[in-house]
Amino acid sequence: MSWQQELQNIFKTIPELLAYLEISQDHPSIFYDSSFPIKVPRSFANRMLKGNIDCPLLKQVLPVQSELSEEGGVYDPLMEDEFIEDRGILQKFQHRLLVIASGHCAIHCRYCFRRHFPYDEHRFSTKDWTILFERLKADRSLNEVILSGGDPLTLPDNRLETIIHQLNTIDHLEIIRIHSRLPIVIPSRLTSELQSIIRKSKIPVVIVFHINHPQELDASLIKTLKDWQQVGCVFFNQAVLLKGVNDTVTVQENLWRTCFKAGIQAYYLHQFDDVKNAQHFKVNKDQGLEIITELRKRLPGFMMPSYVQEIPFAGSKVPIV
């Protein structure tokens, strides 16, 4: 089955997902959310633990009652609205632009800091891509482009090829970065066509994954990622510290060791962004520091992520020390 077919065949209702996982639909913690409905690829669900509502992969995607009752959090925790220059174009840090290349995702993560983002207002048209390319050409201080979303890899290969080709015509660009969770939740997205597009780019293309738990990386996916690394693809991972998902030293150690085994370099461990309706995932910084301190004792430096928080207007990710 192609990745496009898998994308069309995802779980879109809670009863369907829970029946597949052999979990009772009457569990008191569950609620049915129409404002941010579930999206779960079957290939990701296959890595979940059957019969276990506390599965760390399921917890990331299943709506729970506390989303309705909890206090705190804001709709735009990173104040991204303040950084939007044109439709879908943000500049939060020096020397780089972030592009909402697609408003679509293969999976709806309940803790997502953009779960309330107005994607409909930032759909990129051909005209908007032209504006982006002209903006990049005009400003030689910009040396990096981040294709974000949503998920930029929901775009078809031929569209990505056109975008990367256009970026390669801008002589002062040094890095093209793609932030994506799609190849993790639907591994068939790692097509030979996509690999060829990346390999042909004169500008280095870096793919930053979002993997929170070692269970997300099974043996088949690890082998695929290792094969890609051998043709020059560079992978990084950024995770979010999430209560009940990966807030122990043991899970964090296994996560970063598994990433290394798959050829994925450690990048960031993010402090939870204070988004509304997701406060049940929040881990306090003191506990985060305890985890990261112990993790340094267990992992070599090249496997260690930087424990950071994104603070609006700070000018960079802020290390938590």
Residue 202 tokens, joined: 């004169």
Residue 2: how many other CB atoms lie within 10 Å: 11
pLDDT digits (tens, 9 = 90+) for 47-84: 999 999 999 999 999 998 888 877 888 998 888 888 88
pLDDT digits (tens, 9 = 90+) for 234-281: 999 999 999 999 999 999 999 999 999 999 999 999 999 999 999 999
Query: 98 in helix, strand or coil?
Result: strand
Q: Smallest Cα–Cα separation from 212: which of 171, 241, 179?
A: 241
Helix (H) / strand (E) element for 235: namely: strand 234-240
pLDDT digits (tens, 9 = 90+) for 291-311: 999 999 999 999 999 999 999
pLDDT band for position 125 (50/70/90)? confident
Angle at 285 between CA 84 and CA 211, to 5 degrees: 65
Residues making up the chain, counted from first to last: 321
CA distance 197 to 158: 9
Query: 169 in helix, strand or coil?
Result: coil
33-37, 104-108, 242-246, 264-268: least confident range: 33-37
Residue 212: how many other CB atoms lie within 10 Å: 27
State the pTM of this model.
Answer: 0.94
pLDDT band for position 157 (50/70/90)? very high
Greater pLDDT, 35 or 130: 130
Give CA separation, 148 vs 50, 93, 104, 181, 283, in Å: 32, 15, 10, 10, 25
**Considering the chain, what is the average pLDDT of its residues?**
93
Q: Hey, what domains does the chain have and what are their CATH numbers?
A: 3-67 (no CATH), 80-308 (3.20.20.70)
Whether the per-residue pLDDT at 141 is higher than 90: the answer is yes
CA distance 186 to 7: 8
pLDDT band for position 28 (50/70/90)? confident
pLDDT band for position 3 (50/70/90)? very high
Q: What is the mean pLDDT of residues 164-176?
A: 97
CA distance 169 to 72: 46
pLDDT band for position 17 (50/70/90)? very high
pLDDT at 87: 82
Span between the terminal Cα atoms of the chain, in Å: 46
pLDDT at 23: 93
Q: Smallest Cα–Cα separation from 92: which of 318, 319, 305, 312?
A: 312
Q: What is the mean pLDDT of residues 113-126?
A: 85
pLDDT at 26: 81
Give CA separation, 196 vs 1, 38, 200, 219, in Å: 20, 33, 6, 23
Q: What is the mean pLDDT of residues 207-228?
A: 96
Whether the per-residue pLDDT at 31 is higher than 80: the answer is no
